Structure 1
Amino acid sequence: MSLALSDGLRDALSAWLDHERALKAAAKNTIEAYQRDVAGWLSFLAHHQGGSFGLAQIGRLTISDMRAWMAQERGRGVAPRSLARSLSSVKGFTRWLAEREGFDATAILSTRAPKYQRKLPRPLTAQAARNMIDTVELQHGEPWVAARDAAVVTLLYGCGLRISEALSLTGADQPIGEVLRIRGKGGKERIVPVLPAARRAVADYVRHCPFDLSDDTPLFRGKRGGPLNARLISKVTEAARLQLGLPATVTPHAMRHSFATHLLNAGGDLRAIQELLGHASLSTTQAYTAVDTARLLDVYANAHPRAKGI
């Protein structure tokens, strides 16, 4: 952070980050992103104001000041999506600070984020997802490694896990039961059901694995016995999708996208899917499952009493 910032402002930023970490259970990566975003904004303001910049100056900022910061960021090549994220961090910090210090933060909070086109995920078809799992298992000649890779990808598609969540499982989680207790982003815990196919895939891997899978050790291992690196699953997924002629968007995370979309298409409730995915916001789930107007109208037609002629 710039040396032109006052100690009070440095302390305020630190206190806000502690607040987000403790009360909102924000993940480590999220906290680091918040710190970069807000510190960058404050450093710009210190130079923009041409002198020492402290708590008192925050409440005097104008729309013009905010536009100047955003113009600088765009001039540095910051993409609209990234700038929108930074602005969200700035607003979160300012909202908290305004409540604490009692000043009017309207100029900052009313600043509009730049428009950007959301990149909706591209889920696989149900058949393509099955083909991916089968093909992943054929990528390695060593049986236990092949079984391991298939088990991980099956968990991504069968349970909607993030790759980090699948790789955080330990020996204590096996044998896999009908449900898994998953600790996701921000330390939030959720219960996800496990399909028989996923339980069988993990059990097959455990039978073949040459390492001791005791309670406090990682369930999925690398070839030398250490924790499995997520990059290896990305590489085996890439090899499988190339063999199947699937697009580059088919990644381990696309298996989670597909889990959510296929549940929705089968009539699953959007809020229930939100819980299964561990999303804090329903809007995130909507984007994740590529909800479109046709799907929403279909739900309406089947659920609304007036639509049924009642």
Structure 2
Amino acid sequence: MKRADLLEAWHSHLAQGRRRSPHTVRAYVATAARLLDELGDSDWDSLSRIAAPALRAQLARRRADGISNASAARELSALKAFIRFAREQTGASDPAPPRMRGPRIKKGLPRPVTPDEAVNLAATIEEDATEPWIGARDRAVLLLLYGAGLRIAEALSLTGAALPLDETLVVTGKGAKQRMVPLLPIVRDAVADYVGKCPWPLDKAGPLFRGAKGGPLSQGMVQKAMTRARIALGLPPSATPHALRHSFATHLLGAGADLRSLQELLGHASLGSTQIYTKVDAAVLLDVYRSAHPRS
């Protein structure tokens, strides 16, 4: 089978079958092309028989090119996906790729947005929406992330049973673990504004936040709206919906909240997940110092 045919099938699977982003498609196809260059003539059957040692050798060659741990981890993920696809083409009973542990990646610190940036993002998203109710909806979602520290999935999983909002809200987080979070008046008002404008009936069993056609609002739509707003405001790519949750945590910690209370509010299973915000808060203070101190 020709190399070009293998890559074309892989490209089609990623772009049309899996609906991956153009950037991901390019990267995964390039990874497959490098592997095929090393192997020479190949077909789905020979690719399906590739074992872990061959993948390690390919990864070692890429590491010799000077790629970082993060790039190596992405390369390994792409290789595994390609081998899985090859095994699926042969009808293998077990399409799982060879088991390999990727390189360790040091977690970077979360990058929160400032209070002004959070407010401006919410306002910009509301102003740029195609319809007033959609703008009110997106603003309400963002304020739940920033004002109550919800994960985006938690906000979008709320149903009409949460209405009318009170001073606290019971949220179901990871592992079906429930927690109670306080709601600021600005958050409650934003949700009430959306509810008053929403053209769809919000029954107790249905989703609170609706898409343009009445179905559940998807994370992708919120992320796209956030991307447009942060570009309009000249903010970095790190200004994502999840960054608003980071900001909630960082600003509370800076205002004197203790780690145990913050752990409960965020729904973290372990205190270790919450402790990273002590480093974030210190990093923010250092940035302020460097920008403001005359001798820095």
- Aligned to 1:137, what secondary structure does the other structure show? helix
State the 1:132 CA deviation.
Answer: 1.1
State the 1:202 CA deviation.
Answer: 0.2
The one-letter code sitting in structure 2 at the alignment partner of 1:154 is L
State the 1:287 CA deviation.
Answer: 2.1
Q: 1:167 aligns with which of 152, 156, 168?
A: 156
The one-letter code sitting in structure 1 at the alignment partner of 2:156 is L
Change beyond 3 A, Cα 1:70–1:180: farther
Aligned to 2:183: 194
State the 1:114 CA deviation.
Answer: 5.3
State the 1:286 CA deviation.
Answer: 2.1
Aligned to 2:264: 275
Gaps of 5+ in 2: 1-50, 74-100, 286-296
Tell me whether 227-236 or 71-80 shows the greater mean CA deviation.
Answer: 71-80
Aligned to 2:248: 259
Aligned partners of 2:167, 2:105: CA distance in 1, in Å? 41
Seq. identity, %: 54
State the 1:291 CA deviation.
Answer: 3.8
State the 1:141 CA deviation.
Answer: 3.5
State the 1:75 CA deviation.
Answer: 4.3
State the 1:131 CA deviation.
Answer: 1.1
Aligned to 2:24: none
Change beyond 3 A, Cα 1:133–1:290: farther
Aligned to 2:232: 243
1:224 matches 2:213 = yes
Aligned partners of 1:226, 1:239: CA distance in 2, in Å? 22
State the 1:271 CA deviation.
Answer: 1.4
The one-letter code sitting in structure 2 at the alignment partner of 1:140 is A
Aligned to 1:32: none
- Aligned to 2:181, what secondary structure does the other structure show? strand
Aligned to 2:290: none
- Aligned to 1:218, what secondary structure does the other structure show? coil
Aligned to 2:37: none
Aligned partners of 1:218, 1:134: CA distance in 2, in Å? 23
Aligned partners of 1:280, 1:76: CA distance in 2, in Å? 39
Aligned partners of 2:172, 2:276: CA distance in 1, in Å? 22
Aligned partners of 1:134, 1:240: CA distance in 2, in Å? 9
The one-letter code sitting in structure 2 at the alignment partner of 1:231 is G
Aligned partners of 2:199, 2:121: CA distance in 1, in Å? 25
State the 1:130 CA deviation.
Answer: 1.2
1:157 matches 2:143 = no
The one-letter code sitting in structure 1 at the alignment partner of 2:144 is L
Aligned partners of 1:144, 1:76: CA distance in 2, in Å? 53
- Aligned to 1:117, what secondary structure does the other structure show? coil
State the 1:293 CA deviation.
Answer: 5.7
Change beyond 3 A, Cα 1:294–1:139: closer
Aligned partners of 2:227, 2:284: CA distance in 1, in Å? 31
CA contact (8 A) 1:121 1:290 kept: no
State the 1:288 CA deviation.
Answer: 4.6
Aligned partners of 1:295, 1:241: CA distance in 2, in Å? 20
How is 1:36-75 mapped onto 2 (pairs within 5 angstroms)? 75=60
Change beyond 3 A, Cα 1:123–1:72: same
CA contact (8 A) 2:253 2:281 kept: no
Aligned partners of 1:276, 1:77: CA distance in 2, in Å? 43
How is 1:57-96 mapped onto 2 (pairs within 5 angstroms)? 75=60, 80=69
- Aligned to 1:202, what secondary structure does the other structure show? helix
Change beyond 3 A, Cα 1:141–1:268: same
Aligned partners of 1:271, 1:160: CA distance in 2, in Å? 15
- Aligned to 1:213, what secondary structure does the other structure show? coil
- Aligned to 2:127, what secondary structure does the other structure show? coil
State the 1:70 CA deviation.
Answer: 11
CA contact (8 A) 1:257 1:289 kept: no
1:177 matches 2:166 = yes
Deviations 1:223-269 (A, max 9, x none): 11000011110011111111111001001001101000010111111
Count of aligned residue pairs for this structure pair: 204
Aligned to 1:134: 123
